[in-house]
Structure 1
Amino acid sequence: MQRSGAPDAQRRRACASLGAALVVAALAGCAPTPPPPAPAGIAVSVQQNRLDIARGKMTVVVHNGGASAVTLTSLVYADARWASVLEWTGALPVPAGRARSVTADLMSPACATSPTDVAGTAHLVFQTDRGAASDDYGVDDPFGFVARAAQQGCFASRFAATAAVDLVDVAVVTGAGAAVAELTVRIVNHGAAPVRLDTVKSTTLLQPAAGGWLWEPAQVVAAGESVTVRLEAAPARCDLHAIAEDKVGTRFEAAVSVLSDPIDRGSLTLVASDPQRARLYDFVATTCGFAP
């Protein structure tokens, strides 16, 4: 009996071993394949160039310092100094040794939070020759753009609660025997504290007709009052590129103060409207002698 049952037992053990091996093989086949590693040599930065400034945009730049081309398919950029997160999806080829940019609307600053110097982060997803890969990256800000934009944006919001400063007119007039562009700036104080228009900076296109690089009106406007200031301007340069390549020459940085305790100082940008910009370009062209 023992001899006749031995082959059956051996067969059962063999079948059990085979079944276990098949289960292990099946489980191994079901294990997820690990994703490919993120591409090497990737870096991320943020900036706002001259064209971006004029259009109210900002740029996130993806640098590929690796040896292989990749395609950026998703970008999520966050920074505690912005009130929102930038999210982008698409298909942007980034060749090896090159950089490509994602341009978006300038985000609003997070004025309710405490200022922070912590850099932003970006989560990137790439399509590579080995499949989809992703990673998180610190975002470099080589020109201090984010801190500057957040500071200016938050100051502008505070100042708007007290007063408004606008470039309301541009005209060509004759001053000291020569034609000058007259910039009319209106300060309307609807708050409870006096405000002051301290200075206005020259631009690549226009400067004070009297010389120098600053208009210095130092105009104080009491609470509830409205004051108009006129600034005389002359061309800052006389060549065709001054107009042909101009991006920010009709955007004037004005230093203003709320004369509270303590004094709140900052800067605003006086932006010429399209008709005002056209008049300023015509004035420069005529004054410099290259108008048709």
Structure 2
Amino acid sequence: MTVARAGMRSVAAVAAVLLALALAACAPGAAPPGATEEPGDLPAGVTAEFQQGRSDVAARQAQVVVTNGTDETLVIGGVEVEDARFDGPAVRVEDRDSTIGAGRTVGIRVQLPAVACDDDDPPADGTTLTLEYTLEGASSSATVPIDDPLGFVGPLHERDCRAEAVADAAHVSFTDFDPSPPGEPAALMLGVAPTGRAAVLIAGIQTTNLITFEDGTGATIESHPIGLQVEEGGNGLVEIQLPIVPLRCDPHAVQEDKRGTIFDVEVEIDGEPGEIELAASEDVRGQILTWVADWCGFGD
């Protein structure tokens, strides 16, 4: 009986040790390298912001700027940004991992989806980031609110929804470009083709950082008046000749151009004034930049 009881006590002791080891393996912070943790907040010391720089605008992109304030290397995988003002998530442009060293900051580009425009139920503010990451050998994900410190999402949503309303009334584009010799204005043609579905006033068009307008007397103006009223039920293409001259003639303005051929068009919808962005096509943009270089004398 004594030997039997001793054997039973030994078995119980071994079982207790095995149970303790199993519980320890499940305890927080005990995940082995390569383990996957449950989704939660970002690790302490890791922060993220949602930003859009000038170089992101033409491609309709933005950046999730991640700062790794930990002492370990952080690897970022999947990135998604959700906002009710968009009709879907913004996802990273390149399907790859981003390695961020301790104390470093990296901007991860995401492609912005179309905006969600609903006048009856305007979407609320608020942007959420979902991030897949690996830190200290453990992989996890986090879904957290993300700040938009430059406040670009609200104006982008407003501008794009206004552009949708304008497009419902008319197709507006640059249809042609006729270059000019130095000292004379070139002709940029603005085409307005009514859809017949709605009305809009095309009030004017503004100078860019590269191009301005000649007023007919040799002087330049920041905003060229147009005053074209598109009526509901209207049809037929209307073309307006815009007399343009370079705003500046330093070579790097052309060489580094990103927004020189993106114009702000002044419009009015249902009595409400506003602006939309109108970009020249790649073909027209190339013609304009070549003309600026020739007009300014550094094209050779």
Instruction: Give the TM-score of the pair, scaled to structure 2.
Output: 0.82
Counterpart of 2:158 in structure 1 is 151
Counterpart of 1:219 in structure 2 is 228
Q: Compute the displacement of 1:132 (Å).
A: 2.6
CA distance in 1, matches of 2:63, 2:222: 29
Counterpart of 1:64 in structure 2 is 68
Confirm or deny that 1:115 pairs with 2:115: no
1:270 to 258, 278, 283: 278
CA distance in 2, matches of 1:72, 1:234: 46
Kindly provide the CA deviation profile for residues 107-141 of structure 1, in whole angstroms up to 9, marking residues without a partner as x.
111224523222x1223232223433443333121
For the structure 1 residues 75 and 291, does the alpha-carbon distance in structure 2 shift closer, same or farther, using more than 3 Å as the test? closer
Kindly provide the CA deviation profile for residues 166-205 of structure 1, in whole angstroms up to 9, marking residues without a partner as x.
111111247xx94212111111222354321112121111
Confirm or deny that 1:51 pairs with 2:51: no
Q: Is the 8 A contact 1:44 1:139 kept in 2?
A: yes
Q: Is the 8 A contact 2:90 2:111 kept in 1?
A: no
Q: Is the 8 A contact 1:44 1:138 kept in 2?
A: no
Aligned-residue sequence identity (percent) comes to 29
CA distance in 2, matches of 1:81, 1:165: 24
Q: Is the 8 A contact 2:83 2:125 kept in 1?
A: no
CA distance in 1, matches of 2:248, 2:83: 39
**Equivalences, count:** 278
- CA-based RMSD of the aligned residues comes to 2.5
Instruction: Give the TM-score of the pair, scaled to structure 1.
Output: 0.84
Paired residues for 1:224-235 under 5 Å: 224-225=234-235, 226-235=237-246
CA distance in 2, matches of 1:193, 1:40: 52
Confirm or deny that 1:252 pairs with 2:257: no
Confirm or deny that 1:98 pairs with 2:90: no
Residue 110 of structure 2 aligns to a residue whose secondary structure is: strand
Question: Which runs of 5 or more structure 2 residues have no equivalent in the other structure?
Answer: 32-36
Paired letter, 2:173: D
Q: Is the 8 A contact 2:204 2:266 kept in 1?
A: yes
Question: Which runs of 5 or more structure 1 residues have no equivalent in the other structure?
Answer: 1-7
For the structure 1 residues 243 and 180, does the alpha-carbon distance in structure 2 shift closer, same or farther, using more than 3 Å as the test? same
Q: Is the 8 A contact 1:125 1:134 kept in 2?
A: yes
For the structure 1 residues 86 and 271, does the alpha-carbon distance in structure 2 shift closer, same or farther, using more than 3 Å as the test? closer
Paired letter, 2:13: A
Counterpart of 2:34 in structure 1 is none
Residue 27 of structure 1 aligns to a residue whose secondary structure is: helix
Kindly provide the CA deviation profile for residues 48-106 of structure 1, in whole angstroms up to 9, marking residues without a partner as x.
22222222322222122334332212323222222112345632111233211221322
CA distance in 1, matches of 2:268, 2:212: 22
